[in-house]
Amino acid sequence: MASVAALEKSLSAAAPCPAPTDRDGFDDHGEQNPREECGVFGVWAPGEEVAKLTYYGLYALQHRGQEAAGIAVGDGDQILVFKDIGLVSQIFDEQTLDSLRGHIAIGHTRYSTAGGGCWENAQPMFRVTPDGTDVALGHNGNLVNYISLLEEAAARGLVDKSNSPSDSDVMCALLADGMKGGRSIVESAQELLPRIEGAFCLTFTDGTTLYAARDPYGVRPLSIGRLERGWVVASETAALDIVGASFVREVEPGELISISEAGVRSERFGVTQHKGCVFEYVYLARPDSVIRGRAVNATRVEIGRRLAQECPADGDLVIPVPDSGTPAAVGYAQGSGIPFGQGLVKNAYVGRTFIQPSQTIRQLGIRLKLNPLREVIAGKRLVVVDDSIVRGNTQRALIRMLREAGAAEVHVRIASPPVKWPCFYGIDFASPGELLANCVEGDDEEAMVRAVGTAIGSDSLGFVSVENMVEATRQDREQLCCACFDGVYPLGLPEGNHNADLVRTMQATI
């Protein structure tokens, strides 16, 4: 691949490889992790406290979005929506949840993609149909034909383009407007969903029935669970476990389900073409979730075993970067025979912060989140296992910290291939020119890996191959989206997007 930084600079005045930013967003020694954009939850359960069930479900999905959250509850007559900026625990209290009464609810946790991070773009979205019916919708994913749908909604007077509505708001507006003339919400959905291009998992309701839909490629996971007196849908099976629901099955790609007193009804709006996101297995999903019958934790452990065979290291101790690197580190220790140890302590209470750091605090860097156990690592040749390298700033600061704590050598092993391409299907990756694998000079893959290792300051560096990563999922390669690793975008590229234009230019140079 030609110099990506140079290509990006030619298309934009922005610097190709910006100064490091913190992994949690509050200093210049780390970086921000790849972020899943949203989590959705829905429950139909007459006689149950559906708002509280949804609250606990969102708690289990908090890792999928920490910017905003909301719950919409319907009682058959109206839908009440409560949403705000912040974490689930910060937004809802006992009094608020008690006021949200009904038999049906949908919930959402959010990071922003299309649309900004303002309150108006928090979900669930709410609209009133032309005949006065309330509609609420939650969305996980990202659309590639957002601009076309936005133009359509604006032409019909449903949204104001100048306010930068999110793709979720546009979908909700079109869904509600499609119910005019006495049409049902299912009729509207069957007309709208085949025209939506991109990755989407939806939960929506008219206050009477719970609906869920998944794009025909099944990029993001969505599962159905059974309660004693109702049904649940959730982005991950871990959320079903939290609320005491038994897993029934996944919502199939291209499927629209309706849940009411009549049970679960299934309809098709698209042909199933499995292209599940492989990064769900690598990093995004909770380790206690199951996707397409494969436990996420078991996948990560197996990736670690394969990584040990593919990229061996001479070391005294395998340590993870907690928590996301832990399963792969366990697997690496098993595959290599090198003892596993906890060499880093994580502060579980460091998350997103709204308090701007002073220069003194900024210089603390990654120490705000991780601290070395000196008595464990001093004098040791360490094999440090992490889930991915994006900009490399976290690894650079971490390696420096480990050396200061007395590590004799630091060998870094990564439980995913080099990230070279941005995601347009619901993960907040950096632009191509910010990805470290694109920012170093290297005539081939081996030279690139050596250059990345030099950039982060490790004694050696190794990545698992795409082939071994995919085999660990026990899914067929053709049924997975690996776009962030191989640049093949099965759902196409979005309209009017600078990074997508850059990707097209990059692809033309290969």
387 labeled binding residue: yes
Residues 221 and 218: their CA atoms lie apart, in Å, by: 7
**Annotated binding residue at 439?**
no
- Which residue do the tokens 């992994």 mark? 23
The token pair at 120 is 């108006």
Angstrom CA distances, 187 to 78, 213, 247, stand at 20, 14, 28
Q: Cα–Cα distance between 100 and 113 in angstroms, integer? A: 28
Instruction: Indicate left, alpha or beta for 471 from its phi (over 0: left) and psi (-120 to 50: alpha).
Output: alpha
Q: Is 484 marked as binding a ligand?
A: yes
121 phi and psi angles, rounded to 5 deg: -95, 0
423 is an annotated ligand-binding site residue: yes
**481 annotated to bind ligand:** yes
> In whole angstroms, what is the distance from residue 438 CA to residue 432 CA?
7
In the block, residue with structure tokens 């019958």: 293
Catalytic residues: 38
Contact yes or no for 424/497 (Cβ under 8 A): yes
CA 178, CA 187: separation in Å to the nearest integer? 8
Q: Is 277 annotated as a binding residue?
A: yes
Q: How far apart are CA 417 and CA 395, in angstroms?
A: 15
Which position has the token pair 């290297």?
442
How many angstroms separate the CA atoms of 135 and 126, rounded? 6
CA distances (Å), 271 to each of 34, 194, 217, 314, 414, in order?
A: 30, 10, 8, 49, 36
In a 13 Å sphere around the CA of 495, the CA atoms on its Cβ side amount to 10
Q: Is 482 annotated as a binding residue?
A: no
Sign of the torsion angle spanned by Cα atoms 119, 120, 124, 127: positive
* Placement of tokens 């999905």 in the chain: 61
ω into residue 124 within 30 of 0, thus cis?
A: yes
Spatial distance between the Cα atoms of 172 and 194, rounded to a whole number of angstroms = 15
- Biggest CA–CA distance in the chain, Å, is 75
Helix extents (H) in 12-138: 50-60, 88-91, 94-99
Do 85 and 117 touch, CB atoms closer than 8 A?
Answer: yes
Is residue 166 within 8 A of residue 121, CB to CB? The reply is: yes
Binding residues: 277, 324, 386-387, 423, 481, 484
Binding residues for [4Fe-4S] cluster: 277, 423, 481, 484
